Every structure is written in C-alpha cells, then in structure tokens.
Structure 1
Amino acid sequence: MLRFAHTEYLWGLLLIPAFILLFIVVSRWKTKAVKSLGDRGVVNQMIPDVSFSRPWLKFILFTIAFGLLVIGAADPQLGSRMEEEKRKSADLMILLDVSNSMLSQDLAPNRLESAKRALAQLIDNLHGDRIGLIVFAGDAYVQMPVTTDYSAAKLFLNTINTNMVPTQGTAIGAAIDLGIKSFDFKNGTGKAMIIITDGENHEDDAVAAAKDAADKDVSVHVIGVGSPGGAPIPIYQNGKQVGFHTDSAGHTIMSKLDENMGKEIAAAGNGAYVRATNANSGLGIVMSQIDKIQRKTVDTKSFKDFEDRFQFLLAIAFLLLVIEFFISNRKSQRLSNLKLFEVKKI
C-alpha cells in the first residue's frame, strides 16, 4: 500500500506545466531573435558552437528532477507489514438532500456545503464502520454503496451538487426505501440512516418509510439544515449568482426548515432529530445515538508499518541535476569533428 506523509507538497507538481509554458515561450522568442539576424544557415556558421537541442535536454532533465523532488518531499511510504485485527462494525447510510433549496444561505456558505463539510469530518472519525451515500431530490440515487473505503467516500462526497438529480423536489421516503434496499441484512451488523435535509418533503410519505425501516431494525436519524425563518433560494448561471427563485406572482420564495417533519420522521424511525447550526452540525449528537446500536465483530486486514521511500527519489533527482549541470549549451567539439554523415566529394 502506498501513501504520502505530506500530501500537501504534491501541489508543487502544478508548477511543472508553468515551467513548460515558460520554456516554450522563451524558446520561441530565441528562435525569432535568431531569424531576425538573417539567413539561418549563415547564422549557424557565425555561431557554430551553439547547440539548439541541448537546452531542451537540460530542461527535460531539470523538469524530471523537480518532479521527483516534489514527490520525494511528500514522503512516499510503502506498507511493509499487514496485520489482521478485529473491529466492531456497523453499516451507516447517509441520505443527503440535494434539492435546490439546499443552496439557501442561512447556513454558511449554504446548507449543502455546510452538510458536506460536516460529513467529511464524520468520515475522518470513522473506524471500521461501513458508510454509504444516497443523494435525493425529486428522486433518490445511490451515490456510493456501503464501504470501508473512506478515501473513496470523501471523493464521492466532493462531487455532490444540486445538479445531480434532474427531478426537483424532496422525496425523503424514496431515499429511505432505497437505503433499506442498499443494506445487506445477512451480515448481521447494526444499521442506521442519517438524513440531512431541510425537511420540505412534498413527494411521498416519509414517516411511513421511516417506520418501515424501524421495523427492519434500521434506526433513522434526521439532521435539519436551515432556519425556521427561512432564506431565499439563489439562482446560479456559470457559477455566478444572478438572483433568487420567485413564485408566479414574482415574490421571492423563502425556503424554511420544516422541523416538525424532521421530528416526525426521526420518531417513526426510532432515531434522533437535531437541528444543525453554524456552530454545531448535529452529527456528534446523532453518532452518540448510533454508537448504541449492535455492532458485529469482523476481521480486517490493514498495514501497520510503513517505510519511507523518499531517499530513492531524491537520489535520482540529485543525479539528474548533476548531469544537467555538466551538460553544456555548446556543441561537443569532438563529436562535431567526427562528421559521421558528411558526404565526401570525389
């Protein structure tokens, strides 16, 4: 298993395209400057020792060395010892509302982004529990089935936006039903759902769906995002806000948190209801309730010891820089004197 101790250093690789662009610009400028002096053949005779290919070789060596230095600074590590261990595991399904109302800004920067940040922190604190993601608006879709691959979970989480579900609305019941279908009830682990929504359910009977989940020993918890007073729903075009949604009379639509709906769903699902704020996402309270569910002990394998491998990359980078340093921009006189391809006149 490969990992990097300092992944933030890998951002330095973004400098390589800038180096390439700068080198190409400078090379073209030099070529134009040489052409402005006159005929290329005459100019080459005036500066016979100048090589036009060696700067490219030097640049390639420098670029490769720089890339290796950056990767080496990030400290790549390889897992050297795998160990089996027993962990208590539960299955957790996140149901995230991605309807347009989740763009309202009564939570900073908006309801959806606030929820995604809280979920990212939750994933960072998971140890052994499996997690899945379902997104819903007018319809519900499995974004990621239950897994212990937390890195993948965060990648999927980052891609979530309000354009993922073409049908607008808030079908909480459909999302709960899909969550039940996504669980493996044969593995014997405790199961729970966390619904993150503003509670404006207009599509189905979410309370009945939550009761059905509870009957299958799946607890349903609800985190309400937004404010009872409500906030307008912004409209974006090309990434810029251009106004707010209005009704047929031209009045600005206010999206209000429906706490009664959230409480009813949680009560029917034998779960907890928490209202999220800018200071508290509510996930901590919900997870304290989920920690009480039955967990199954499972055998897992993980790497325990990691060995640094940056030394090899730095050594190769240093060697390339030394070679680059000793390569002259001038032609080799010995090679030039060989004239291997010169045709002799008889």
Structure 2
Amino acid sequence: MNLFSYATLAGYEWQHPRLLLLLALVPLLPLLRWLLARRRRQVVVAFGPGGIRPDWRAGLRFLPTLVLSLSLALLVVAAARPQRPSEHLTQTGRGIDIVLAIDVSGSMEIEDLKPTRLEAAKRLAGRFVGGRAGDRLGLVAFAGQAYSLVPLTTDYDLLLSNLRSLRPGLIADEGTAIGTALGVAINRLRDSRAKSRVCVLLSDGESNAGSLDPQLAAQLAHAYGIRLYTIGLGEDGFVPYGRDSLTGKPRYVQTRLDETTMRQLAQAADGRFFRAADNAALKQVFGEIDRLEKSDIRTQRYRSVQDFYRSYLGWGLALWLLWLALKGTFMSNVLED
C-alpha cells in the first residue's frame, strides 16, 4: 500500500480531522522565514570584479527548509490519526422458509384490483420479499398446471426478477390447479430444516384442474409441519375485465371465489385464510403474514479499527532528524540562522 497516494489518504477515516487544517499553514512557514530574514540587518560582502558565477549547488540551501516542511506535514497527518475501520456481522438463529404460490390464470387480468389482480399481487408480494431478512424464499406459479420457478433461496434479486416476469398465459394449460400448486410447494418445503415452513397461496378462483385434490394437499402440508396461508383475491359477481373493442366501454365478467374451500385448506394446515377484495386489503394481508411469521435471527455487529498513524509519525520524525543534521552542513545559510 502506497502511504502517500491520494487513494490511500482519501480512504482513511480520521479521528481528529480538524487537525488536517494545519496542513494549510505548512507552506507558509518557509515564506515566514524568508520575510523575517529580510528584516534582519544584512551583511555586505565584497567580491572581486568577476563576481560569483551561478552554481546549481546554491539551490541546495533550500533543501533543509523543504525537509522541515515535509516533516511537519507528516507529523500533522499522524496527529490526525488516520484509521481504517472494518465491520463484521454475525447472525445467530434460524430463518423461515417461505414459498409463494401465485395464480397466473387468465382471470388474474381482471381489474377490480389495480391495475389488475396479478399486478397488484406481484407488487405487494415484492414488498413482502423486500421486508424479509435471513429467510429462504421460493416461488411457484400455477394455472392449469404448477411449476416451481425459484427454489428456496436467499437470493432475493433472483426471486424478485422471476416475480416480475409473471403474466397471464405464462402457463399454457387453462384452469386453476390449487392442489397441484400446493403439491409443488410441499415438495420444496418438506426437506427443509427451518424452524418454520410456510406456504402463501394467492388465487382468485376455485380449483378446477390438476390431479391432486386440494384437501389432500393441505393434509400433506399439515403432516410435514408446513403452515398454509391462503389469500382469496378479488370480488365476487360482475367485475371489470378490459374494454369492448368496438365501443371502448368496460367489459364485465362474472367471477366467483371458492372461499369455503380456501378457508378449509388454511385451517387443515394450521394457517389462516384472508380475503383481499382491493389493493388496501391485500396490502394489509401481507402485513399481517409478515407480522405472524417473524424470523428468530439475531444480528451482532463488530467494529474494529486499524491505526496507520505510526507510519506517518516514523517518517515525520526521520525527516525531522534529517533536518537537524542538514542544519550543520553547508546547505544551511549560517548568515540567516
């Protein structure tokens, strides 16, 4: 490490940074010494007709002053105590493993949640992910089939990227395979050793596809110690869904959430059912789940400081001794000193 490079000096933290202001006075010392010398009574020395020829060695008389200035600058730097802190984080305890299972069927384009049911779910699920720390999260998307898009991971950027990519039509098979989605989530969670294993399932319809019965899937989740939170999205009845291509007026379609089944699934797996008919309710639901599922992770921060003033102090004292030695040589102007 180059002690005198700009990058090194700029990278320090200073215990007494105000002392560095004294560096501005160091260049003034040679000037002050020169002004005082001019005020002294000058000694006139007569030379022969030829005078004195210029000699480069005459400039060496400024070397002691330069050495003194460098010495003082280094001593000021040392007094300001340059340091490099380092922090270490240690985490103890266990996080939670959570799988988000999100419905991407065509009905998730309905606009009773703004801008659509799916977009609202993605946005608030993203905030939920951003609020977790130390937990492993996974992502399952389902329509007529279910697929694991992200395994359990602490790489939240990867999960958020896949979450943003969700769209209706991502899975070609039409329908809502809630049982299959729970089965895929259980496969991800069953071998987990986390203190708590959770599946959060978001859907806006009734299970009408897939080969695994939702009730059986909920019982499997309970058997593996997986808690299930189900969230029913949207309103029942006629709700806006796009616009008519000819008139431009909103179109309305009829939807129905099988709330009874969603509630039974949550109860079978020791969880809770939530109904989110609008954005505010969905935000409140995620906040409630975040409150219920807290990680038991304790973070300790250690801060250590490494001092570097000794190097600058050593160089400063060495130059000071060099200055004292030079004062006794021909380089010092004895007529001024």
**TM-score clears 0.5:** yes
Do the aligned partners of residues 203 and 165 (structure 1) sit closer, same or farther apart at CA in structure 2, a change above 3 Å counting?
same
Taking a change above 3 Å as real, the CA distance of residues 257 and 186 of structure 1, as seen in their structure-2 partners, is closer
Q: How does 1:177-326 map to 2 (within 5 A)?
A: 177-183=183-189, 185-204=191-210, 205-231=213-239, 233-234=241-242, 253-276=253-276, 277-281=278-282, 282-291=285-294
1-structure distance, mates of 2:200, 2:244: 28
SS in 2 for 1:108: coil
Instruction: Give the CA deviation at 1:188.
Output: 4.2
Over 3 Å counting, the alpha-carbon distance change for 1:162 and 1:243 in structure 2 is farther
Aligned match of 1:138: 144
Structure 2, unpaired ranges of 5+: 1-84, 305-337
> What SS is found at the alignment partner of 2:279?
coil
Aligned length: 214
CA distance in 2: counterparts of 1:99 and 1:303, whole angstroms = 49
Cα distance in 2 for partners of 1:188, 1:110 equals 34
Map 1:1-346 → 2, pairs under 5 A: 81-183=87-189, 185-204=191-210, 205-231=213-239, 233-234=241-242, 253-276=253-276, 277-281=278-282, 282-291=285-294
User: Does the C-alpha gap of structure 1 residues 100 and 243 become closer, same or farther in structure 2, counting only changes over 3 Å?
Assistant: farther
Amino acid at match of 1:265: L
SS in 2 for 1:96: strand
Q: Give the counterpart letter for 1:279 in structure 2.
A: A
SS at match of 1:86: strand
Evaluate the alpha carbon distance shift between residue 135 and residue 188 of structure 1 in structure 2; reply closer, same or farther with a 3 A threshold. Answer: same
Change in Cα spacing, 1:202 to 1:127, as seen in structure 2 (3 Å) is same
Q: Distance in 1 between matches of 2:249 and 2:207?
A: 24
* Structure 1, unpaired ranges of 5+: 1-78, 246-251, 306-346
CA shift at 1:83, angstroms? Answer: 3.1
What CA distance in whole angstroms lies between the structure 1 residues aligned with 2:270 and 2:158? 30
DSSP 3-state at the match of 1:279: helix
SS at match of 2:121: helix
Structure 1, residues 310-334: CA drift from partner, whole Å, max 9, x if none? xxxxxxxxxxxxxxxxxxxxxxxxx
Deviations for 1:116-142, whole angstroms, at most 9, x for unmatched residues? 111011011101111100000000001
The answer (yes or no) to whether the contact 1:190–1:296 under 8 Å persists in 2 is no
In 2, the alpha carbon distance for the partners of 1:173 and 1:253 equals: 25
Following superposition, the deviation at residue 100 of structure 1 comes to 0.3
Letter in 2 for 1:202: N
1:301 to 1:234, Cα distance in 2 relative to 1, 3 A: farther
TM-score under structure 1 normalisation?
Answer: 0.55
Q: Deviations over 1:83-116 (max 9, x none)?
A: 3322430100000000001111111111100101
Contact 2:219 2:268 (C-alpha < 8 Å) held by counterparts? yes
Any conservation in 2 of the 1:137–1:168 contact (CA below 8 Å)?
yes
**2:289 alignment partner, SS class:** helix
> In structure 2, what residue type is equivalent to 1:211?
Q
Change (3 A) 1:266 1:285: same
* Bigger-Rg structure (1/2): 2
Q: CA deviation at 1:143?
A: 1.1
Q: TM-score, normalised by structure 2?
A: 0.56
Partners of 1:269 and 1:155 lie apart in 2 by 29
Q: Distance in 2 between matches of 1:171 and 1:91?
A: 23
Question: How big is the alpha-carbon RMSD for the aligned residues of Structure 1 and Structure 2?
Answer: 3.2
Shift of 1:200: 1.9
Q: Is the 8 A contact 2:145 2:209 kept in 1?
A: no
Contact 1:199–1:261 under 8 Å retained in 2:
no
- Contact 1:230–1:257 at 8 Å: present in 2 too? no
Task: Tell me the alpha carbon deviations over residues 63-89 of structure 1, each in whole angstroms, 9 at most, x when there is no partner.
Answer: xxxxxxxxxxxxxxxx97553322430
Instruction: Compute the displacement of 1:256 (Å).
Output: 2.3
**Sequence identity, in percent?**
30
Cα offset for 1:235?
8.5
**Distance in 2 of aligned mates of 1:196 and 1:236:** 28
Aligned mates of 1:274, 1:85 — CA distance in 2 = 33
